[in-house]
Structure 1
Amino acid sequence: MSSRYTFGGDEHIFVEVNEEMSLEAFFKALSMTNAVRNADIRGVTEICPANASFQIKFDPDLIHPDDLMSELKRMEEIADKEEAVLNTRIIEIPVYYQDPWTHETLMRFRERHQDPEATDIEYAARINGYDTVADFIQAHSASPWFVSMVGFVSGLPFLYQMVDRKRQIQVPKYLRPRTDTPRLTVGYGGCFSCIYSVRGAGGYQMFGITPMPIYDPEQKVNYLKDFLVFFKPGDIVKWKPITREEYERNLKEVEANTFSPRIREVVFSLDDFNRDIDGTNAKLLEVLNAG
């Protein structure tokens, strides 16, 4: 896998690991950005990882662009030889699928949708070959997801499904973006799921909502006191379908600042995953549910 390097003006280098998203491309981009961060290269001012690419901002008065380019290519040679192993965490995220708030919102924007006669999740279930919405929710929530990048708006995670390519859910974005999306909506566009960290415009299909805050600029939420953004690239997420009653109970815990997401530390090996996807996922879920 050979990356493509380009300069972005006088202060940026953009590195495209691959034109399409894959866990291999993600791991290589993550390995290289971690290497840049650990090297503490003089003149590097910002590191921005993405799904299968990354961008480095630098001060050309402190490091020559060609020197930084050469250093990045050297790091790629090292990354290609390293075993793709990640010390990370698996997190359980409660989701109230087909909730009334995203439903009210999606009904206001049916003229912008591919199928005005169906809800977003009904449409997604149909085009992915599922007989019922319940079957689709099972497919969406049964396997883990990788957080491949965080951004676009503050704290918003993009999540990539950890199944073989033929089982991956694919759903197009709205024909025209909405002007409104409820905060903490669980959305879907292309091959990525996401959580809208704030209320605002959006074009992803809306499947449900989580009671769990993932972005707190005031850092008052008990599990966001160390950093205002919850997710980081490399996190593994397991969706947990919940009822309206469970959602209301979780919401009260959030309001009382006693809600605590279930989090476990794990070691993830890409080679092990590629050898046995379902077996690796089962082991991850065993760790999550232990204790």
Structure 2
Amino acid sequence: MKTRYSFGGDEHIFVEVDEEMSLEAFFKSLSMTNAVRDSGIAGITEICPANASFQIKFDPDVIAPDALLAALKEFEAAAEGAAKTIETRIIEIPVLYDDPWTRETLMRFRERHQDPGSTDLEYAARVNGYGSVAEFIAAHSGTPWFVSMVGFVAGLPFIYQLVEREKQIEVPKYLRPRTDTPKLTVGHGGCFGCIYSVRGAGGYQMFGVTPMPIYDPKGEIGYLKELMIFRPGDIIKFRVIDRAAYDAAVAEVEAGRYEPKIRPVSFSLDAFLADPQGTNAKLLEALHG
């Protein structure tokens, strides 16, 4: 895993931890960005973490670029031997799969899809070797997902399925992006899932929608006083719901009574790599215990 450093103009350093997206690369990136944040180095104005990389914005009148680069390389050396355990949260996300809104949207954009004759769920099930949409939904919702970054648009989480590499769901993005995606769509592109925090353009396959807001720029929703719910390192668990449960949850949100299920958990990368199923079972026990 060879880290690559590059300067972007006079005010940015871009750090690519690895060309390959992996939990190992993410944990190294997370350790380095946490170290930057905790260091309190004068002149750093913004830290932008991503899946296997991050970017630092700084004021060159306060800290010289070479001095910041040297500090980052020290953080990298420390990250190599850092404990790969984090204290984080597991958050349950209810999902109405194969909902009428994403279905209507995907039908409007079939000419941009690899398989215009099937829905996104049918296509995803087939290319991943599942015998039915129901089997695919069970696989998608049955295991936890790791939030590796938040961004692109405000509050949108990119998520990585916590299963062995050969079992990960992989689905290519649309051939050409859509100009419309319903708000709170649960989508997937490549090896990453996401939840669209707002309505807008998109190219990920659409599997369903959640009634649970994840971004509130007005800060009016009780559990979204920090404007967005997710942060890198969070763990998500999807829960299948029907239309009646979806409508009931929407009503709770509108009444200001909805509270998501969030539990504190410890996550060890080494423990997960040694025993993925056992680690996931402990995470789910913490969520439902």
TM-score (norm 2): 0.99
Aligned length: 289
Corresponding position of 1:66 = 66
Q: Tell me if 1:118 matches 2:156.
A: no
**C-alpha distance in 2 between matches for 1:154 and 1:119:** 28
The one-letter amino acid of 1:145's match is: W
Q: Tell me if 1:256 matches 2:255.
A: yes
**C-alpha distance in 1 between matches for 2:31 and 2:138:** 32
The one-letter amino acid of 2:105's match is: T
**C-alpha distance in 2 between matches for 1:52 and 1:178:** 26
**C-alpha distance in 1 between matches for 2:243 and 2:190:** 28
1:83 positional shift: 1.2
* Superposed counterparts of 1:68-83, under 5 Å: 68-83=68-83
1:20 positional shift: 1.1
Give CA deviations for 1:157-189 in whole Å, capped at 9, x if unaligned: 000000010000110000000000000000000
SS in 1 for 2:55: strand
**C-alpha distance in 2 between matches for 1:10 and 1:243:** 52
**C-alpha distance in 1 between matches for 2:21 and 2:146:** 12
SS in 2 for 1:152: coil
Corresponding position of 2:231 = 232
Corresponding position of 2:272 = 273
Corresponding position of 2:214 = 214
Corresponding position of 1:171 = 171
Corresponding position of 2:16 = 16
Corresponding position of 1:101 = 101
The one-letter amino acid of 1:205's match is: Q
The one-letter amino acid of 2:192's match is: F
Corresponding position of 1:42 = 42
**C-alpha distance in 1 between matches for 2:224 and 2:128:** 36
**C-alpha distance in 2 between matches for 1:140 and 1:32:** 31
The one-letter amino acid of 2:160's match is: Y
Corresponding position of 1:246 = 245
Give CA deviations for 1:129-174 in whole Å, capped at 9, x if unaligned: 0000000001101110000000000110000000010000110000
SS in 2 for 1:96: strand
1:87 positional shift: 0.4
Q: Tell me if 1:87 matches 2:91.
A: no
1:221 positional shift: 0.5
1:2 positional shift: 2.5
**C-alpha distance in 2 between matches for 1:206 and 1:271:** 32
SS in 2 for 1:267: strand
Give CA deviations for 1:66-102 in whole Å, capped at 9, x if unaligned: 0000000000000101110100000000000000000
Structure 2: runs of 5 or more not aligned: none
The one-letter amino acid of 2:238's match is: W
**C-alpha distance in 2 between matches for 1:109 and 1:257:** 35
List 4+ stretches of structure 1 deviating above 6 A.
none
* Superposed counterparts of 1:195-214, under 5 Å: 195-214=195-214
**C-alpha distance in 1 between matches for 2:217 and 2:169:** 32
Q: How much is the aligned-residue C-alpha RMSD, in angstroms?
A: 0.5
SS in 2 for 1:206: strand
SS in 2 for 1:231: coil
